[in-house]
Amino acid sequence: MAFVTDFVINSANSVTDFVITGAHVVTMDGARTEFTDGYVAVTGNTITAVGQGPAPEFPGARTVDAPGCLVTPGLVNTHHHLYQWITRGLAADSTLFQWLTTLYPIWAGIDADAVHTAATGGLAALAKTGCTTTTDHHYVVPRDAGDVFEAEITAAAQVGLRFHPTRGSMDLGQSSGGLPPDHVVEKLDDILTGTASVIDRWHDPSPDSMLRIAVAPCSPFSVTEALLRESAVLARDSGVRMHTHLAETLDEQDFCAELFGCTPMEYMERVGWVGPDVWFAHAVHLDDSAIETMARTGTAAAHCPTSNARLGAGIARTRDLLDAGVTIGLGVDGAASNEACSLVEESRHALLFARARGGPQALTVRTALELGTIGGARVLGREHEIGSLEVGKLADLAVWDLNTLAHTGITDPVAALVLGSTPPLKLLMVNGAVVVADDRVTTIDEDVVASDVARAHLDLVRKAG
């Protein structure tokens, strides 16, 4: 089943015409159409045909014969911290607050070079798990670190993923009652100026954009009320989305009760942080009133089941959120709390944890895949462009090879993907360009990047003493 990689490698990150034939195609369109012997045609960066049976003739197109394969929309990652790729494996048995206090002194040593290396490694690894679009929440901005946002943006362009980085921030240090050390927080005016600069320089609102910016103060326990209010005004004046952590742990619930006299969700609504332009990471500890608030205001959630389990934070009320009409996508979260950062595994873990909480009908295999595709696209406001395989949408797709010992004999290809081990990728396409072929990233040298990541990890840990 080897793909013809010679032309792929030579044309890496360039766009050509393709037709994928003979595969099981899961479109994730409005009717959730599937084709058991289907085809997908791509012209430039756009899907031009999807259907059942032998594909029509597309003169000049490259043919990818894919019998026994599954074609899905590219997966959408709605929450990440790419800089953490070079700090994996630390504080492996800690709670969230213990984990943060252990890692903040190490993260304080990052600079633009370290962020570029970490982002390149993290983005390439994401691509190998079917991810075509990813966010990043970067909130550690040390003084004299260089341009850490440019560093990760150039890494995304190099790897070739569609990128939604969020300009994160912290201004509530330990001396003022916050969790992060004072030396890793910024001043309010510097944050607002820096955030406006990132938006002005990088945000591309065009329909086929590869790069969009969002505004993302870190969390209720690391930012001031003034920062939340003023960043919301800045984001809405700039026409960009808003993102933050919320309701991840019971510690956060206690923190908000003590300092603000309310729940985390009540606090967010008080400071203007709810609405269809807002999405929260985690949203684990929500009462019925909080879920109703999200549904009523159109606020979305990034469900991060692996990280929540790794840190012992709890299990989100996924079924209840969906039943209420809340938009949910999946997130791998930071690599320091999810060393695998496999986006396809998040679909599996979302399903397993929902069923552990609510029984075997709590989440189906197709709903789990939906969260990772069209669900994530909705979270980012891009459901009209990505997240499903439909004519006119952008050519972001994954071709999973199920012709393996681990997958042959599994009756349902979607169950094979969601419940089985992660299949190799025959092809990953982003904006019509090949990023992965035959389970190898075509845009970077994986071995060189791995070596760079190992070196950056040791340098950063040594710097922290």
What's the mean pLDDT in 435-460?
98
CA distance 55 to 393: 19
187-215 burial, b if ≥16 CB within 10 A, otherwise e? Answer: ebeebbebbeebbeebbeeeeebbebbbb
For residue 242, which phi and psi values (nearest 5 degrees)?
A: -130, 140
Taking the CB of residue 258, how many other CB atoms lie within 10 A of it? 9
CA distance 341 to 108: 22
For residue 113, which phi and psi values (nearest 5 degrees)?
A: -65, -45
Q: Cβ(233)–Cβ(184) under 8 Å?
A: no
Residue 186 falls in which region: left (phi positive, over 0), alpha (psi -120 to 50) or beta: beta
Q: One-letter amino acid identity for 325?
A: G
Please name the residue that has the structure tokens 């044309």.
11
What's the mean pLDDT in 170-195?
92
pLDDT at residue 192 is higher than 60: yes
pLDDT of residue 59: 87
Low-confidence winner among 72-76, 95-99, 417-421, 425-429 (lowest mean pLDDT): 95-99
As a dihedral over the C-alpha atoms of residue 325, residue 326, residue 329, residue 332, rounded to 10 degrees, the angle is -140
pLDDT of residue 184: 85
pLDDT of residue 143: 87
Model pLDDT for residues 244-272, shown as the tens digit of each residue:
999 999 989 999 999 999 999 999 999 99
For residue 455, which phi and psi values (nearest 5 degrees)?
A: -65, -45
The two three-digit tokens of residue 188, written as one number: 């309010």
pLDDT at residue 3 is higher than 50: no
Average pLDDT, the chain: 95
| Number of residues assigned to the chain | 465
For the chain, percent of residues with pLDDT exceeding 70: 97
CA distance 273 to 320: 21
pLDDT of residue 437: 98
CA distance 375 to 120: 25
pLDDT at residue 62 is higher than 60: yes
Taking the CB of residue 10, how many other CB atoms lie within 10 A of it? 9
For residue 280, which phi and psi values (nearest 5 degrees)?
A: -105, 140
- Mapping DSSP onto H, E and C, the string for the chain reads CCCCHHHHHHCCCCECCEEEEEEEEECCCCCCCEEEEEEEEEECCEEEEEEECCCCCCCCCEEEECCCEEEEECEEECCCCHHHHHCCCCCCCCCHHHHHHHHHHHHCCCCHHHHHHHHHHHHHHHHCCCEEEEEEEECCCCCCCCCHHHHHHHHHHHHCCEEEEEEEECCCCHHHCCCCCHHHCCCHHHHHHHHHHHHHHHCCCCCCCCECCEEEECCCCCCCHHHHHHHHHHHHHHCCEEEEEECCCHHHHHHHHHHHCCCHHHHHHHCCCCCCCEEEEECCCCCHHHHHHHHHHCCEEEECHHHHHHCCCCCCCHHHHHHHCCCEEECCCCCCCCCCCCHHHHHHHHHHHHHHHHCCCCCCHHHHHHHHHHHHHHHCCCCCCCCCCCCCCECCEEEEECCCCCCCCCCCHHHHHHHCCCCCEEEEEECCEEEEECCEECCCCHHHHHHHHHHHHHHHHHHHC
Model pLDDT for residues 378-405, shown as the tens digit of each residue:
999 999 999 999 999 999 999 999 999 9
Q: Which of 86, 60, 126, 110 is nearest to 443 (CA)?
A: 126
Nearest-5° angle of CA 435, CA 452, CA 4?
Answer: 25
pLDDT of residue 182: 87
Q: One-letter amino acid identity for 316?
A: A
> pTM for this structure?
0.96
What's the mean pLDDT in 432-449?
98
The two three-digit tokens of residue 144, written as one number: 């004299």
pLDDT of residue 30: 98
pLDDT of residue 16: 63
What Rg, from alpha-carbon coordinates, does the chain have?
Answer: 21
Model pLDDT for residues 8-55, shown as the tens digit of each residue:
433 344 456 999 999 999 999 999 999 999 999 999 999 999 999 999
What's the mean pLDDT in 216-235?
97
* 69 strand-pairing partners: 401
